[in-house]
Amino acid sequence: MRPLWARAGGGRDRGQTVIEFVGVVPLILLLLVALWQCALVGYTFVLAGNAADEGARAGAAAQGDAQGACRTAARRDLPAAFEGRAECGEDGAGLYRATVTLKVPVLIPGVLNGFPVDGTAAHVKER
């Protein structure tokens, strides 16, 4: 007499679930890494815009060294992983402008080169 699992036809599919699971796990992990990298890009855009806004506000209100105040304020709240530069200056229309360029941190080194993201802001120069 044959065993019960052989009579039901289930003997041919033994272990199939494990094989499918092992095959799908790397794809799921790759998707999670890609989503996390997209979140880092979005966060970099937010940080660059906020840093530029802070720098322009500080430069517009500064009484002495406006560029120094702008650069200091723009870099004050940036995390260490986000390296970049701040360019500050007054334009001819009475606005104080700040541009912050940040490099996007890369989750897996060598896959992307960490492209730059710009954030700009302007405030009316206080007299």
Domain range annotation of the chain: 12-124
Q: Is 70 in contact with 88 (CB distance < 8 Å)?
A: yes
* Residue 6 pLDDT class (50, 70, 90 cuts): low
Tokens, residue 53: 């806004």
* Residue 43 pLDDT class (50, 70, 90 cuts): very high
Please give the backbone phi and psi of residue 124, each rounded to the nearest 5 degrees, phi first.
Answer: -70, 130
Please give the backbone phi and psi of residue 111, each rounded to the nearest 5 degrees, phi first.
Answer: -85, -50
- Whole-structure pTM value: 0.78
Q: Which amino acid is present at 18? A: V
Distance between CA atoms of residues 79 and 67, nearest Å: 21
What's the pLDDT score for residue 14? 73
> 111 burial class (0-12, 13-18, 19+ CB within 10 angstroms)?
exposed
What's the pLDDT score for residue 107? 84
